[in-house]
Amino acid sequence: MILDGQAPGAIEQAARRLRAGGLVAFPTETVYGLGADATSDTAVAGIFRAKGRPVGHPLIVHLADGVKGEQALSRFAQPLPPFAQALVRAFWPGPLTLIATRQPGVGAAAAGGQDTIGLRCPAHPMAQALLAACAEHGVAGLAGPSANRFGRVSPTTAAHVASEFGDDLWVLDGGPCQVGIESAIVDCSRGAPVLLRPGAIPRDHIEAACGERLATREELGLPDPRASGTLESHYAPSAQVRLMPAQALQTALDLLGADAAHIAVWSRSVLRTASQRVLLRRMPDDAQAVAQQLFAVLRDFDALGVRLIWIEALPETPLWEGVRDRLARAAA
Ligand code: TXA
Ligand code: MG
C-alpha cells in the first residue's frame, strides 16, 4: 500500500507500525529503504524474510539528525575514531554510511551478528520526519536495506517498491530519490578508513574531509565482507547488460542492421540504428544525473521486455566511480 508521506498523520501512523515491530518502506535521498526497528531482533528478522536476504548479511541502521541522533549513535556504536567523526561532521545528514564497532547487546540482528554496525543519517526530509517520530516512540534507529528483493535493482520510487513486495507492505511515498544510487560505505572500524562501496560522494572528497587516504581491503589484509552490495553480480535487471565504448556500440548496431530486436541502448553519444525495434535512449552528460536515473532506466528496459541492454562505457574519473561500480555489477 502506497501512502502519501505528506498526508496528515501518515508519518505518525508509520512510526506506530514500526514501534509495533512491523515493516514500513521509506524514501531516502539515495534509494528507498525497507525499515524496521533496529533495536528489535524480531522486527529485523521480518526484513530478512521479506527480502529473501541471507541472514548474516548486515543491514544499515538509519539515525535521526541532531541530539536524538547523537544519542542513538552512542547507543549503537562505540566512540568513533577522529577520522570518522570528521566524516560525520562533513557528510551527515547525507549519502554516507559508516561502519563502526558495535556496542555489545544492541542491534545484533541488524548487524548480521557481526561486531560492527553500519550507520547512516539520511538527508531526505521525510526519512528524517519518520526517524524523529520513531525516536519519540523509543525506536532509536531503523534498520533499512534497499527495499528490493535480494540481488535485484534498488528502488528509487514508491512504485518500484510496491512492484517488488506487493500491496501488503506500507510504502511512504516521498517522490523519486534525488541521488539514485546507494550511499558510499566507509569502514571506520579498522584503524584506517576503507571504502567498501563507492557512492555519490567522490572518494577524493571523502579523503579531503577525513584527512586520510582511503585504504583498500587488500592493503589492510581484510577478508571479503558479507556485504550484498559488494557481491560481484548484484543490482541486476533481468535483461543482460553489456558495457561498450561508443564506437564498438555503433559497430554492433551496424552489423545487426535492420534485424536487430529486443535491444535497448543507453549512451551519451548519438548513435544510429537501421532497426525500428532497437530502443535508443540518451544518457545525460553528468554523473549525478546518470546516478539519479540509473536504476529507473534499467527497470524501464526490463518492463519493455528488452533482452539485451547495451550501455556506453563511463569515464574513468572519480566523479563516475559510483555509477561505474553499479553498472559493472549489473553487467557481471
Ligand atoms: O543508500 C543506502 O545505503 C540505502 C538506503 C536505504 O539507506 N541502503 C542500502 O542498504 O543500500 P543495503 O542493505 O541494501 O546495503 C547495505 C550494505 C550491504 O552491502 C551490507 O552488507 C553493508 O552495507 N553493511 C552493512 N553493515 C555492515 C557491516 N557491519 N560491515 C560491513 N558491511 C556492512
Ligand atoms: Mg541493497
Tens-of-pLDDT digits for all 332 residues of the chain?
999 999 999 999 999 999 999 999 999 999 999 999 999 999 999 999 999 888 889 999 999 999 999 999 999 999 999 999 999 999 999 999 999 999 999 999 999 999 999 999 999 999 999 999 999 999 999 999 999 998 889 999 999 999 999 889 999 999 999 999 999 999 999 999 999 999 999 999 999 999 999 987 778 777 766 555 555 556 678 899 999 999 999 999 999 999 888 999 999 999 999 999 999 999 999 999 999 999 999 999 999 999 999 999 999 999 999 999 999 999 98
Examine the domain organization and report whether 203 and 268 are in the same domain: no
Closest listed ligand to the CA of 97: 1
Whether 228 is in a domain gets the answer no
Whether 203 is in a domain gets the answer yes
Examine the domain organization and report whether 156 and 251 are in the same domain: no
Whether 235 is in a domain gets the answer no
Examine the domain organization and report whether 292 and 175 are in the same domain: no
The CA 9 to ligand 1 mean position distance, Å, reads: 29
The CATH code of the domain that includes 323 is 3.40.50.11030
- Give the residue from 175, 191, 220 where a domain finishes: 220
Pocket test for ligand 1, best of 114, 131, 146, 152 (most atoms within 8 A of CB): 146
Examine the domain organization and report whether 127 and 272 are in the same domain: no
**C-beta of 324 in contact with ligand 1 (< 6 A):** no
Question: Which pTM does this prediction carry?
Answer: 0.95
The CA 182 to ligand 2 mean position distance, Å, reads: 8
b/e code 171-181 from CB counts within 10 Å (16+ = b): bbbbebbbbbb
The CA distance from 47 to 60, in Å, is 12
**C-beta of 119 in contact with ligand 1 (< 6 A):** no
Examine the domain organization and report whether 76 and 205 are in the same domain: yes
The CA distance from 273 to 252, in Å, is 10
The CA 155 to ligand 2 mean position distance, Å, reads: 9
Whether 231 is in a domain gets the answer no
Examine the domain organization and report whether 252 and 213 are in the same domain: no
Query: Which residue, chain included where needed, has cell 535483461?
Result: 239
The domain containing residue 6 runs over which residues? 2-220
Q: Which atom of ligand 1 is nearest the CA belonging to 30?
A: 1
Q: How many domains does the chain have?
A: 2
Examine the domain organization and report whether 205 and 295 are in the same domain: no
The CATH code of the domain that includes 63 is 3.90.870.10
